[in-house]
Structure 1
Amino acid sequence: MRSTTQSKLYIHLFFWILYYMLEAYLDFYWSRYQFPDFKWQIRLQNTLTLELGYFLVKIPLAYSLLYIYEKGGINKLFKSFLSVIIVIIAVLGHRFFTHYIIYPYIYGVTETFDGKLPSGFINGLVAFNSFMDLIFMVGLVFGVEITRQKNLLKDQISMLKAEKLDQELTMLKAQINPHFLFNTLNNIYGMALKKADETPDVILQLSKIMRYNIYEAAERHISIEKDIENIKDFIQIQKIRHRQLSVVFNEDVDNPSQEISPLILIQFVENAFKHGVSESLGNSFINIDIQLKNKVLHYSIENSKEERSGGNSTKIGLKNIHRQLELLYPKHNLQVEDKSNRYIVKLMIDFNDTVSI
């Protein structure tokens, strides 16, 4: 709130400085023809003085109308009536200052109409000139303030959208972690029933992965190097259980520090194990290829599956991960091929075109 108030103060102060310079220039230029006998130094001094005097009328007028415009709970008809009264008072003040102060005391002459006839305090044409001068200034002030408020509203909407996306991503990640833990504990449970010697090693690997999920995955972005390391740890756990599994892992990354949202890539690997390898009766395989070149990621996973395996078992996980990709990488490309004996996922992410959250 304080920064918003300060920003408003600076913007309006900057506006009045520019407006003062503009009006002073115009009046100084006009005085060349109205008072040709005056030296330019005198005309400049008079111009700067009279513009400061006009501010005593213009600034109260501008902010009185702004206050009425922004004030809620007031009837529109009453607002209009009050605005008209304020403008009339301002025009009278403008005329009084011009007629009784500027001409006799600053320029030392009597105000004239069209340079010949004496001009009274109220004259139709000069009063209209005062009115137009004031309305022009009010229009500028309203334009500045409305533009400032629109930009402020736009920033607030952007912040709310970012917070909403952040909350949604947090919820999506929270859905991933229990899902991953549940699957891995099922694997450990199966090994424990068989009293497998590798069970302690798997538990240790799981501890490492969960440490990653708790600390690293809480970050908005991590290096792709850490994300790949987590995938390798996950594969190591699964290979202990699936002894007839063939895993081919190709990695070609030109920038290991490239940031990526955590827990996206591993979901495809998890699906390959759960809905592909785990349902295969014979020898099974998983081929993983990760390539990062010039900030463009190409990621593909191909896994074996039984012909009887249904194609709907991975829909929940893919729906979750697809939503994350939409939020973070709107122009990603995700292709899924569900064939009779294999399942293929291809993902392309261009890190040059990402959403900042």
Structure 2
Amino acid sequence: MPQVSEVMSHKQWRFYLVYAIFLLVIFLISPTMDQSDPYGPHFQLRIVFWLLFLHMVVSWVVNLWKLNQQLRNERTYAELSLLKSQINPHFFFNTLNNLYGLALEKSDQTPELILRLSGMMRYIIYQGQHDWVSLQDEIDYLNNFIELQHVRFQKRVSVSFNTAIEQDIKVPPLLFINLIENAYKHGVEKLTDNAYVLINLTVKGQQLTFEIANNYDPTEQNDIIGIGLSNLRKRLMLLYPDKHQLTITDSQNRYHVILVLTLSESNISGALT
């Protein structure tokens, strides 16, 4: 984090310097004044000195606190921008690989995949740059991703995406896509048959719950803690500090993730305007 000297303006430094010189002058003058009256000018000047000194100290502390908050906010914004910028290459790399494979096969489904990919790119470019988006828009984006995967995989996959939303809310863009990508990458992609992905998204009061489960082939399983999940953890810490719970379980060839978010009033009321 930058030092105070790096973020305080020259104007602020001059203000405190002049303030300190003024106090020093008062302090040096007061002994030269008539001290015969204990409550006379000498006493009054000393009272003024200590009041001004206290004011300067309090002003300095408050200013430092404001600067510290500003630095924290700027650092958080910079970290979120970096994390969001890492999502796009990660997604495009995977999807373009899919498109390349279908093009090699001269598949009739290639135009449909390109069309859906175009819609998802449009969402990432325009909506993905916002700090918050409508949950319904995010759901539409996830449905497009799932449909794109149907085009990609030439095998039967059982996919269920259920939503129960009392009212539309605001959420960070591209918050859930990494979990769904992991389900396909580490589950559907490696299984020859009976693959499934079960997704439930509910919003009740000030709580959002996103749940996803998928099976996988244990003989093909590798480390699932990749850049996508690491990225998600960092975004949650920045966006929902002490207001999220991410639970991951892996048992009996089944991977299960539950993400619970505590929503703020602004996320709820902001979606209604």
Aligned-residue offset at 1:127: 5.3
**Match of residue 224 from structure 2:** 313
What are the residue-to-residue correspondences of 1:1-357 with 2, within 5 Å? 66-68=19-21, 84-89=27-32, 92=33, 122=34, 124-126=35-37, 129-242=40-153, 243-256=155-168, 258-331=169-242, 332-352=244-264
In the alignment, is the contact (CA less than 8 A) between 2:133 and 2:170 conserved in 1? yes
Look up the equivalent residue of 1:230 and give its one-letter code: Y
The alpha-carbon deviation at position 228 of structure 1 amounts to 1.0
Higher Cα Rg, which structure:
1
Shift of 1:239: 1.0
TM-score by length of 2: 0.85
What is the SS of the residue equivalent to 1:126? Answer: coil
Segments of 5+ residues of structure 2 without an aligned counterpart are 1-10, 268-273
Distance 1:352 1:184 in 2: 34
Tell me how far 1:64 sits from its aligned partner: 9.7
User: Residue 276 of structure 1: SS of its match in structure 2?
Assistant: helix
1:5-28 per-residue CA deviation (whole Å, 9 max, x = no partner) reads 8xxx9xxxxxxxxxxxxxxxxxxx
Select the structure with the greater relative contact order (CA < 8 A; seq sep ≥ 6). 2
**Does the Cα contact within 8 Å between 1:329 and 1:353 map onto a contact in 2?**
no
**Matched residue count:** 255
**Superposed displacement of residue 135, structure 1:** 1.6
CA distance in 2, matches of 1:231, 1:253: 15
Task: Report the secondary structure of 1:262's partner residue.
Answer: coil
1:154 match: secondary structure: helix
Aligned residue type for 2:21: I
Secondary structure of the corresponding residue to residue 37 of structure 2: helix
Over aligned residues, Cα RMSD in angstroms?
Answer: 2.8
Alpha-carbon separation, structure 2, partners of 1:159 and 1:65: 25
2 CA distance for matches of 1:327 and 1:309? 34
TM-score, length-scaled by structure 1? 0.66
Deviation digits for residues 62-116 of structure 1 (CA, Å, limit 9, x no counterpart): x99833279xxxxxxxx6xx66433335xx3xxxxxxxxxxxxxxxxxxxxxxxx
Return the alpha-carbon distance in structure 2 between the equivalents of residues 176 and 64 of structure 1: 47
Kept in 2, the 8 Å contact 1:271–1:314? The answer is no
Give 1:153 shift. Answer: 1.9
User: Taking structure 1 as reference, are residues 353 and 342 closer, same or farther at Cα in structure 2, changes over 3 Å only?
Assistant: farther
Q: What amino acid maps onto 1:269 in structure 2? A: I
Displacement of 1:150 after TM fit?
Answer: 1.9
Give the superposition deviation at 1:144: 2.2
